């Protein structure tokens, strides 16, 4: 009986469980993607990648993760650390769901350079 229950549970949950993965890349925003805007697009003010991403998200954009030239939407936009690490190269851990990532952890990749 227990074996039948276990097999039934496995069949029901198949495809709904995602294994966490870790990627190295940059947290950006949906407006800029892999390349941040020029100073002209920010009212003439030159900005770091961090400041650009934060400004774009505050202006209605969403956080994204860029790795190997591909831009992935981040599903949990309120995850702690997204704003802090915006524009930085990080090691991001999460669950890939279709073409989106649900973030579970963010760590700096090496030494943090100025914001």
- For 35-75, the DSSP string reads SPPPGGGGTT----HHHHHHHHHHTT--EEEEETTEEEEBS
For tokens 């090691």, the residue is: 91
Question: What are 11-38's pLDDT values in tens digits?
Answer: 444 444 568 999 999 999 999 988 876 6
Q: Is the pLDDT of residue 1 over 80?
A: no
The full set of domain ranges for the chain reads: 16-108
pTM assigned to the model: 0.76
């Amino acid at each position: 009986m227990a074996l039948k229950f276990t097999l039934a549970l496995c069949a029901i949950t198949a495809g709904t469980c995602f294994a966490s993965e870790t990627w190295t890349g940059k947290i950006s925003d949906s407006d800029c993607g892999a390349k941040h805007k020029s100073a002209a697009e920010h009212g003439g003010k030159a900005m770091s990648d961090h400041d650009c991403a934060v400004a774009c998200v505050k202006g209605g954009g969403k956080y994204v993760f860029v790795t190997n030239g591909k831009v992935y939407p981040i599903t949990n936009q309120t995850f702690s650390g997204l704003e802090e690490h915006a524009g930085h190269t990080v090691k991001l851990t999460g669950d890939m769901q279709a073409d989106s990532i649900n973030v579970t952890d963010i760590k700096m990749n090496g030494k943090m350079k100025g914001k």
